[in-house]
Amino acid sequence: MREGQQALRLGDIVERFGGQLLGDPELLITQVATLESAGSGHISFFANPRYRRQLEQTRADAVIVSPEVADATQRARIVCKDPYAYFAQLSSLLNPMPAVAAGIHPSAAVDPSARVDHSAAIGAFVSIGARAEIGPATSIEAGCVLGEGVRVGRNCRLHANVVVYHDCSIGDRVILHSGAVIGADGFGLAWEGTRWNKIPQIGRVVIENDVEVGANTTIDRGALDDTVIEEGVKLDNQIQIGHNCRIGAHTAIAGCVGIAGSTHIGRYCRIGGSAMIGGHLHIADKVEISGATAVPKSILKPGTYTSLFPISQHQDWLRNASYIRHLDALAGRLRELEARLAALQGTSNE
């Protein structure tokens, strides 16, 4: 763990972010930490009751807690409604994004027609194509490749070895993690009797402001129109987004999710890891999809949706799974029993 660059008085923290301070306002805080690993100068938070033992044993100098558990420790503490959100804000203050060292590394290959803002940082072995535009205070790390006509806004950070294909557009304050590929061709094929014919993918990818894209995530360019990632969307690692998808603002998608082409996902959705969403679907706003859930059809109203086969010991699974293939037969036998029993009861009631 790295130490933060500065020390903050507990009193200053409360002045800035609110909450009620129980303890010495002069205490200096240098970093956030878990209850378990915190030490001198560290502040932690307590949100999950099952970590109560860690709270008792913590060596943190201070703890952020909710009103219900304000008495669970005698250490210096900040009492607030949402300790996790409070902690997130404080951590952002203590661990700011590193400053961008403006300038173009001498090894970078920047096309003469590209426009790179003088406050942007271009790393070693970066390749920037013709007519590309890089905005102020944006950092493009080593090994990134930006095609012709790519536009990147201000205050973005492209980590090492990101690829953005030609003509794609990236907003402000966007973070792209290493290995992300933005704008590769969508999977557009027409069957021609004996072979596939590749359909040119002439749309773009448009990524709006405040989006974060995880490592090795891929977002395909549109076939004709654009693929669009709306503002504030957060994508984890190894997500695949097919051509002409639209991901609604502030939706968060966990790792390894695949979304097939032309599907529109609403705003404020939360999609669990390894979920799979079919093509040409419409998912409403505020839908939650459980991890490992397959979505083969549109979901038109908010709620949580799941399609998980329950896990069990392999022997139990073997015993039960065989019946899955014969549920219709089982249901048929049930119907027959009901009919026979009804007939019998008719008889015996006579």
CB of 166 to a copy of itself, least distance (A): 9
Q: Cβ distance 156 to 173 under 8 Å?
A: yes
Residue 26 or 191: which CB sits closer to a copy of itself? 191
End-to-end CA distance of the chain: 83
Q: Which of 184, 264, 282, 285 binds a copy of itself (CB under 8 A)?
A: 184
103-104 and 42-46: which strand pairing?
Answer: unpaired
d(CA 32, CA 83): 12
| C-alpha to C-alpha distance for 87 and 338, rounded to whole angstroms | 60
Among 171, 179, 248, 266, binds a copy of itself (CB under 8 A): 179
User: Does the annotation mark 243 as catalytic?
Assistant: yes
Cα 217 to Cα 262: distance, rounded to the nearest angstrom: 18
Least distance (Å) between residue 4 CB and a copy of itself: 8
Query: What's the alpha-carbon Rg for the chain, to the nearest Å?
Result: 27
- 166's enclosing H/E stretch is none
Ranges within 127-156 binding a copy of itself (CB under 8 A): 127, 141-143, 145, 147
> Considering only residues 1-20, where is the footprint of a copy of itself by CB under 8 A?
1-2
Q: Which segment (11-19, 55-63, 66-74, 298-306) binds a copy of itself by CB under 8 A?
A: 298-306
Give the angle 242-245-246 at the CA atoms, nearest 5°. 145
| Residues 39-68, mask of contacts with a copy of itself (x by CB under 8 A) | ------------------------------
Which of 30, 54, 119, 290 binds a copy of itself (CB under 8 A)? It is 290
* Segment interacting with a copy of itself (CB under 8 A) among 10-18, 31-39, 58-66, 113-121: 31-39
Binding residue for a copy of itself, selected from 18, 130, 300, 337, defined by CB under 8 A = 337
Count of residues that interact with a copy of itself, criterion CB under 8 A: 132
User: Helix (H, G, I), strand (E, B), or coil: what is residue 333?
Assistant: helix
When binding is defined by CB under 8 A, the residue of 252, 264, 282, 286 that contacts a copy of itself is 252
160 binds a copy of itself (CB under 8 A): yes
Q: What is the smallest separation between the CB atom of 84 and a copy of itself, expressed in angstroms?
A: 6
Amino acid at 64: I
Beta strands (DSSP E) in 80-141 are 103-104, 109-110, 115-116, 121-122, 127-128, 133-134, 139-140
Which DSSP category does 108 fall into?
-
* Positions marked active-site: 243
